[in-house]
Amino acid sequence: MNNSAEFGSQSFVLLRLGERRFAVAATQISELVAPSRIFRFPNHTPKVEGVILRRGRIVPVCDVAEALLGKTLVSRRFYLIAVRHYRDKSEWVALPVSGECELIAAEMMAAGEADAPHVAGWISHNGEVIEILNIDALTPGGNGLSVPVEVDALLEARP
Amino acid sequence: MRVAAPPSKASTARSEQIILFRISGQLFAVSSASVQEVRSVDSLSGAAMEMNQPTLRKVRHVLRRGDRALFVVNGAAHFGLPASSAGLVFVLRKTRTALLVDGIDKMATMTRLQSLPLAYCHEERQWYRGLTALDQSVIPVVNPEGLLTPEELALLDASLTPLALPEESTAEGMAEPE
């Protein structure tokens, strides 16, 4: 990633999906990783392809290209691991991207009323106006979801 | 086949024995402590009674255990997998459910159960207790209580009322000691 910090501006990660570029607030990004094996199991949630194992964590893979471009990605070069906020907790989600990512600094313009829910705002970079993505609106889960009791961490022995 | 007894707390205070099994090629896990019996489908042929609840195609058979009815859930139909040839039935402890599966892969020890990621937000939240990583794979751990909802059980009970179920012989079972 290239870093070009500017005073008074915010940091964003630029990602590429097909021919288009999008931005995500850098504070929402955990890391960029090479694609790894996706584990799939039966479910009824669209947009979640499966899960990957990353640093001992199980991370859902959410293909956002279809929602943003109208088609799935043909080639995936990386997974951008982003933080997805739910009502009272946060989790990682892996977003397949088709090119290198870049860390930039830019001033954010707020989203307008006419913008789609997944648009958190806009930035201007190298003459291009780029959507800032609202990961929470773009990925499934959370809305009206009753979160079950946590089962993370080591298990207690069952009777 | 006798199901292994749950491990003693002293030896594995923070682990859980699981059974890895397949349905239509998909690997699942279930806690061995929640499986009361594993029986071959053939051994149930005389004891199971057919059901035909058009709105609940995943349950085609019912077994009588004393005064209780055990509903046999077709795992492939429940999970939306292609139809498969079930070879075994798991009679699940503390439920009124038995699960048809293709076969058992192996027994294993689970040391960590991660909750299902919140991105999964539909029925699967009831289907699984969570996910576990085993041998560099991720396996969904089935929640026995999620195979039939209370509404589905009520529907099945209602359709069962006029039926007289044959009492199942326990002679050919593979019951785990309670």
- Contact, B63 vs B172, CB < 8 A? no
Q: Is the pLDDT of residue B26 over 70?
A: yes
**Full pLDDT tens readout for chain A, 159 residues:** 444 444 458 999 999 999 999 999 999 999 999 999 999 999 999 999 999 999 889 999 999 999 999 988 888 889 999 999 998 899 999 999 998 899 999 999 999 999 999 999 999 999 999 999 999 999 998 654 444 444 554 454 343
Domains in chain B (CATH in brackets) are 16-156 (2.40.50.180)
More confident residue, A6 or B112: B112
Distance, CA of A155 to CA of B114 (rounded, Å): 10
Domain boundaries, chain A: 10-136
Judge whether A145 is closer than 8 Å to chain B, CB to CB.
yes
Give the strand pairing for B88-92 and B68-74. Answer: unpaired
Cβ-defined contact of B124 to A143 (cutoff 8 Å): no
Cβ-defined contact of B113 to A151 (cutoff 8 Å): yes
> Would you state the pLDDT for residue A73?
86
Q: What is the 3-state secondary structure (H, E, C) of A4-22?
A: CCCCCCEEEEEEEECCEEE
Distance, CA of A65 to CA of A94 (rounded, Å): 12
Judge whether B11 is closer than 8 Å to chain A, CB to CB.
no
List of chain A residues whose C-beta atoms are within 8 Å of the C-beta of residue B129: 151
Residue in A closest to B81 by C-alpha: A42
> Would you state the pLDDT for residue B174?
46
Judge whether B64 is closer than 8 Å to chain A, CB to CB.
no
Helix (H, G, I), strand (E, B) or coil at B27: strand
More confident residue, A120 or B165: A120
> Would you state the pLDDT for residue B52?
81
- Contact, A118 vs A94, CB < 8 A? no
Distance, CA of B96 to CA of B66 (rounded, Å): 12
Judge whether A153 is closer than 8 Å to chain B, CB to CB.
yes
What are the tokens at B93? 């402890």
> Would you state the pLDDT for residue A64?
94
Cβ-defined contact of A145 to B118 (cutoff 8 Å): yes
Distance, CA of B62 to CA of B153 (rounded, Å): 12
> Would you state the pLDDT for residue A144?
44
Reported as a single tens digit per residue, the pLDDT across B143-161 is 999 999 999 999 999 887 6
Cβ-defined contact of A53 to B133 (cutoff 8 Å): yes
Q: Which CATH architecture has domain A10-136?
A: Beta Barrel (2.40)
Q: pTM, whole model, 2 decimals?
A: 0.83
Distance, C-alpha B78 to centroid of its chain: 11
Cβ-defined contact of A62 to B119 (cutoff 8 Å): yes
Lowest mean pLDDT of A82-91, A141-150, B13-22, B37-46, name the range: A141-150
Query: What is the CB neighbour count within 10 angstroms for residue B46?
Result: 10
> Would you state the pLDDT for residue A76?
86
Reported as a single tens digit per residue, the pLDDT across B52-68 is 888 899 999 999 888 88
